[in-house]
Amino acid sequence: MSDPFLILIVIACLAVVVILMFGLGGFAGGGAFNKKNANKIMRLRIAAQFVAVVLIVIYVWYIKG
């Protein structure tokens, strides 16, 4: 865990989990908050997942080469 890039990947993955849990909590609660913010939270999660996957691919490419 001394590799700073690996730590960045772990942080990105944890951010995805936090956003997902926040979205699920809003969905479970329902109401006005869910109607207003569900789509925004979903888009944020997809963007965070994209960043995490790109970081993982770059890391694997870097380790292989």
| Segment among 17-21, 32-36, 55-59 with least mean pLDDT | 32-36
What pLDDT does 22 receive? 93
* Distances from the Cα of 16 to the Cα of 31, 59, 64, angstroms: 23, 18, 26
Instruction: Identify residue 58 by its one-letter amino acid code.
Output: I
Does position 1 have pLDDT exceeding 70, yes or no?
no
pTM for this one? 0.85
The owner of tokens 């939270």 is 41
Could you give phi then psi for residue 59, rounded to 5 degrees?
Answer: -65, -45
Decide: residue 4, CB within 10 A, 0-12 exposed, 13-18 middle, 19+ buried. exposed
What is the tens place of the pLDDT at every residue in 20-48?
Answer: 999 999 888 888 888 898 999 999 999 99
Query: Two tokens at 12?
Result: 């990105």
